[in-house]
A and B are shown apart, each in its own frame.
Chain A
Amino acid sequence: MSRLFAAAPRHRLDKLWPWLCAASVALSLLMLSALLTLLLVRGLGHFWPATLEEITLRSGSVVAGQAIRETPLPQEAGVERLYFKGNRDVDGVSWHWVDIDDITSRTTPHDLIRLERAPWGSFIGRLAAVETDQQSLHGHEAWDYLNNALTLPANQRPPGQLLLVTAQGETLRQPLDSVSQALAPNAMSWWQKTHTWGTNVWQFLSEGPRAANTSGGVWPAIFGTVLMVILMSVIVTPFGVLAAIYLNEIAHQNRLTRLVRIGVRNLAGVPSIVYGVFGLGVFVYGIGGTLDSWFFSDTLPSPTFGTGGLLWASLTLALLTLPVVIVATEEGLARIPDAQREGAVALGATRLEMLTRIVLPMATPAMLTGVILAIARAAGEVAPLMLVGVAKLAPQMPVDGEFPYVHLERKFMHLGYHLFDTAFHGEDVQAAMPLVYATALLLVVIILVLNLTAIFLRHYFRRQRGSEC
C-alpha cells in the first residue's frame, strides 16, 4: 500500500494535502487549548491570594496594592503598571496606574492585609487596632482576635470595630460584622495560600453573588442552569422520541413525510432568539397570561405565570432542541435492520411490543446522542432566555422549603446570562473580569459534566444490549 502512495507525485498537492489536513487539526487543537488555558489561568488564578506590594512614588505618595499588568506607554515613554488598591470608600477608585519610572521603592511588608467587606469591597492596608466594648487590642492580638471573630457568622460576632490605616496614612473604622475575609498574603506560607485558594473556590461555587454580581459566588446560577437543562431534557426527550417514532415507524413514507422531515431538519437552523420571541408570545403572554386570568386573578395585575420563568424557559429551549432529538433518534431508528422488526413480529409480537422490546432499546444510544446534542445546545443558549425568564438576580431559588417546594413560575439565574451581566453591566467591570473568566470556565465544566453523564448512560445501554462485541 505505502508503495502505491509513494508513486511519483502527479501534482504538487499530492505531497502537501496530508500536511494541510494535519495542520488544520493542529490549529483547531491549539485554539481549543488556548481557550481552556486562558479560562483556567484567569479564572482559577483569581482565587489565589496574590502578593501585596507597597510602593513609594517620586512624589512621595505611597500606594499599597496588587500588581495586575503592565502596558507600554505610547512613543516609548516608559511602561505603566496597573495596581489594584481597593479602598474605594477612601478616594472613590480602586485602581491606580503607575509609571514604573516613578517608583522609588517597592516592598512586600508582611503586615499588609487585605479585607473583603460588605459595602465597599476590598480594603488593602494595615490593621491598627480592634476596639470592642471592653478592650482595645493591638498588633498580633488584634489580628488573632479578628481571625477568631471571622470564624463565626456575621450576626453572632461580638460587637466591635476595626481601626484600619491605609498606605497613605488615612484611618477608617470598619464594623466587625461587615468583614467576610481577612488575609495577610505576604505572611502566608504556600500551604496556607493553597488552603485559602480552595476556600475561595468553594465559596465561589456555593454562595450567592454580592455587590451587584461583581463579587461573591454563583451558586444560584449553577443551580438555575442545571435545573433548566434537566427540565428541558425531560420535556424534549419524550416529544422528540415519539415524533421520531411516528416519522420513521408509523407514517407512510410519502412526499408529505419527506417534507415534514426536511422541515424538522431546517428548524434546527432557526436562530435561537426567534424561539425566544415565540416563547415570549406564546408561552409567557399566551399560556401564562391565560393561566393567570384563570387561577391567579386575585394577584393580578402582578403576574404569576404571565411573566418569564423557569417553566417557560425550559419549554422554549425544549422547542429549540426538539429538531436535534428528532433527527438523532430517527437516524438511530433507521439504522435498525428490518430483520429485527420482522423477527419480533414473526414470533407473535404486536407492533407495540416490537417497538418497546426491540426497536426502542436498540435506538436508546441514538436517543441519548440526541439528548447530548440538545444539552450541549441548550446549556450554552442565552439569547432566548433573556426574553423568557432569566434574571440578573433572582431573590428566591426555584426550589426551596416553601410549599409546593418547586416553583416553576419563578425567574431564575443562569451562568450564561450571569457571565454577560458581570462582564458588561457591573459598576466596576475591571474588578469583575476574573469572575467572568471563572464563570466561563464553570459553564464549560458544567456542560462537560452533563454531556459526560449522558455519554456514560449511552455507553451503559450499549453494554447492556451487548453490542460492544
Chain B
Amino acid sequence: MLASLDIANAPQAPVTHFSSEHCALSIEQFNLAYAGKSALRNLTLSVPRHRVTAFIGPSGCGKSTLLRAINRLHDLNESVEHSGHIQLEGQDIYAAQMNVTELRRRVGMVFQTPNPFPMSIYENVAFGLRLQHRLPKRQRDDIIEWALTSAALWDEVKDRLHRSAWQLSGGQQQRLVIARTLAVQPDVLLLDEPASALDPISTLKIEELIRNLKSQLTLILVTHNMQQAARVSDYTAFLHNGELVEYGPTDQVFTNPHLQRTENYITGRMT
C-alpha cells in the first residue's frame, strides 16, 4: 500500500539532459505571457541534435506557443512578454546582439495549414534564398532541386516548376513548404501540427519525410495525434497548462510514463 503510494507520488523524473555536443536547443526557466495571461511557466528542457522531439498535450497547453517562441514569431505581437532563456547551439536567441532574421533562417517553421506563397513552385522555394544573397542561377537551381528532393516532392513537380504553387494538392503544398524551409539550410525545423489538415496518405508521406530528415537537422514536432508522436519521434515532451509535465525518450513516455497525468493523457482519459 505504502509502496504503491510512493510510486504515485514519486518526484518528477529528472529532466532529460544532453551534453552540449548532443544538444541543439536548450530552454531554461522560460516563461511567457499573452497580455498578462501566463501561457508558459518555468519551462526547462533540452532538445537533442538530429533527433525528432515531439511536444504533446491538450489544446491550449502551450505547445504551439513554445514552438513560436523558438522562432521568435511572438515578436510580431507586442502584448507578449517573456523571461528566461532559449539557447540555440549555445547562443541566447533573445540576446540583444541576436539577428532575428538570421535566427529565423536557422530555425525553420512549418505551419498547420500549408501556406505556399502565391507564386510559382520554383519561386516559392527560391523565396528564402533570394532574401539571403544573390546566387548565380545555376547554383540556385541546384539548391532548389536539392530542397525539393529532400522534401520528396521533386519527382512530382519537376515538370511544372513554373506553375502556380496553389495548384498543388494539400499534401504537396505542405511538402513544398518544407522544401522552401529546407532551401535556406536551417539547423532546426519546427513543425506545428504539419499533418493535421491532410488526408491519411499525405500524412504518412509527411511522417516518412520527417523520419528521413533527421539525418540533416533537428526536428521539433507539435502534434495532437498520439500515434503520430509515437511513430516518428525519438523524444516526447508532455505539456499541460503551460508546464512541462514529463519529458523522456518516446518509448519510455508512451509505454512506461512516470506520472499518472501523462498516462491518463496518452491513454485518452484526459483531453
- What's the least CB distance linking A304 to chain B, in Å? 48
> Closest 9 interchain pairs by CB?
A466-B164, A348-B105, A339-B115, A346-B109, A347-B128, A465-B118, A343-B115, A348-B104, A348-B101
Q: Which of A447-469 contact B (CB under 8 A)?
A: 465-467, 469
Contact mask B79-119 → A, CB, 8 Å, 1/0? 00000000000000000000001101100110101010111
Q: How far is the CA of A372 from the CA of B20 in the complex (A)?
A: 60
Instruction: Specify the chain A residue showing the minimal Cβ separation from B75.
Output: A345
Q: Which residues of B contact A469 (CB under 8 A)?
A: 164, 166-167
Interface of A, helix, strand, loop or mixed by DSSP: helix
Instruction: Indicate if B163 sits at the interface (CB-CB under 8 A).
Output: yes
Q: How far is the CA of A358 from the CA of B184 in the complex (A)?
A: 18
- Could you list 14 further interchain pairs (A-B, Cβ under 8 angstroms) beyond the known A348-B131, A467-B166? A340-B118, A342-B73, A342-B109, A343-B115, A344-B117, A346-B181, A347-B184, A348-B105, A349-B127, A349-B128, A466-B120, A466-B164, A466-B166, A467-B164
Q: How far is the CA of A123 from the CA of B109 in the complex (A)?
A: 83
Contact mask B226-259 → A, CB, 8 Å, 1/0? 0000000000000000000000000000000000
Question: A340-B115, A465-B118, A465-B119 known; A346 and B167 CB under 8 Å?
Answer: no
Is B184 a contact partner of A343 (Cβ separation < 8 A)? no
Q: Which residues of B contact A303 (CB under 8 A)?
A: none
Instruction: Indicate if A357 sits at the interface (CB-CB under 8 A).
Output: yes
Q: Which residues of B contact A252 (CB under 8 A)?
A: 78
Residues of A within 8 A of B (CB-CB), count: 23
- What's the least CB distance linking A253 to chain B, in Å? 11
Instruction: Specify the chain B residue showing the minimal Cβ separation from A348.
Output: B105
Question: A466-B163, A466-B167 known; A347 and B131 CB under 8 Å?
Answer: yes
Cβ contacts A to B, 29 pairs, < 8 Å: A252-B78, A339-B111, A340-B117, A340-B118, A342-B73, A342-B109, A342-B115, A343-B117, A344-B117, A346-B73, A346-B108, A347-B104, A347-B131, A347-B181, A348-B104, A348-B105, A348-B131, A348-B132, A349-B127, A349-B128, A349-B131, A465-B118, A465-B119, A466-B120, A466-B163, A466-B166, A466-B167, A467-B118, A469-B164
Which of A342, A353, A467 interacts with B111 by CB under 8 Å? A342
Instruction: Indicate if B49 sits at the interface (CB-CB under 8 A).
Output: no
Q: How far is the CA of A469 from the CA of B76 in the complex (A)?
A: 31
Q: How far is the CA of A467 from the CA of B119 in the complex (A)?
A: 9
Q: Which residues of B contact A466 (CB under 8 A)?
A: 118-120, 163-167
Instruction: Specify the chain B residue showing the minimal Cβ separation from A351.
Output: B76
Which of B73, B115, B131, B181 interacts with A353 by CB under 8 Å? B131
Q: How far is the CA of A349 from the CA of B131 in the complex (A)?
A: 7
Q: Which of B136-180 contact A (CB under 8 A)?
A: 163-167, 177, 180
Instruction: Indicate if A337 sits at the interface (CB-CB under 8 A).
Output: yes
Q: Which residues of A contact B104 (CB under 8 A)?
A: 345-348
Question: Chain A residues in contact with chain B, CB under 8 A?
Answer: 252, 337, 339-350, 353, 357-358, 361-362, 465-467, 469
Q: How far is the CA of A344 from the CA of B119 in the complex (A)?
A: 13
Is B127 a contact partner of A344 (Cβ separation < 8 A)? yes
Instruction: Specify the chain B residue showing the minimal Cβ separation from A465.
Output: B118
How big is the B interface, by class?
20 to 34
Is B118 a contact partner of A361 (Cβ separation < 8 A)? yes
Q: How far is the CA of A347 from the CA of B180 in the complex (A)?
A: 8
Q: Which residues of A contact B73 (CB under 8 A)?
A: 342, 345-346
Is A362 a contact partner of B118 (Cβ separation < 8 A)? yes
Q: How far is the CA of A350 from the CA of B113 in the complex (A)?
A: 22
Instruction: Indicate if B71 sits at the interface (CB-CB under 8 A).
Output: yes
Instruction: Specify the chain B residue showing the minimal Cβ separation from A350.
Output: B101
Instruction: Specify the chain A residue showing the minimal Cβ separation from B162.
Output: A466
Which of A348, A350, A353, A358 interacts with B117 by CB under 8 Å? A358
Is B131 a contact partner of A343 (Cβ separation < 8 A)? no
- What's the least CB distance linking B209 to chain A, in Å? 18
Q: How far is the CA of A340 from the CA of B102 in the complex (A)?
A: 19
- What's the least CB distance linking A113 to chain B, in Å? 65
- What's the least CB distance linking A159 to chain B, in Å? 71
Q: Which residues of B contact A345 (CB under 8 A)?
A: 73, 76, 104
Q: How far is the CA of A358 from the CA of B108 in the complex (A)?
A: 18
Q: Which residues of B contact A347 (CB under 8 A)?
A: 104-105, 108, 127-128, 131, 180-181, 184
Instruction: Specify the chain B residue showing the minimal Cβ separation from A362.
Output: B118
- What's the least CB distance linking A260 to chain B, in Å? 19
Q: How far is the CA of A225 from the CA of B111 in the complex (A)?
A: 50
Q: How far is the CA of A231 from the CA of B102 in the complex (A)?
A: 42
Q: How far is the CA of A341 from the CA of B73 in the complex (A)?
A: 11
- What's the least CB distance linking B163 to chain A, in Å? 7
Q: How far is the CA of A344 from the CA of B76 in the complex (A)?
A: 12
Q: Which residues of B contact A340 (CB under 8 A)?
A: 115, 117-118
- What's the least CB distance linking B67 to chain A, in Å? 11
Question: A348-B132, A350-B101 known; A343 and B118 CB under 8 Å?
Answer: no
Q: Which residues of A contact B164 (CB under 8 A)?
A: 465-467, 469
- What's the least CB distance linking A243 to chain B, in Å? 21
Q: Which residues of B contact A357 (CB under 8 A)?
A: 127
Q: Which of B23-81 contact A (CB under 8 A)?
A: 71, 73, 76, 78
Q: Which residues of B contact A349 (CB under 8 A)?
A: 101, 127-128, 131
Q: How far is the CA of A198 from the CA of B180 in the complex (A)?
A: 60
Most interface-central of A342, A343, A345, A349 (chain B CB within 10 A): A343
Q: How far is the CA of A294 from the CA of B78 in the complex (A)?
A: 47
Q: How far is the CA of A353 from the CA of B71 in the complex (A)?
A: 17
Is B184 a contact partner of A348 (Cβ separation < 8 A)? yes
Q: How far is the CA of A350 from the CA of B177 in the complex (A)?
A: 19
Most interface-central of B102, B113, B127, B165 (chain A CB within 10 A): B127
Q: How far is the CA of A350 from the CA of B258 in the complex (A)?
A: 44
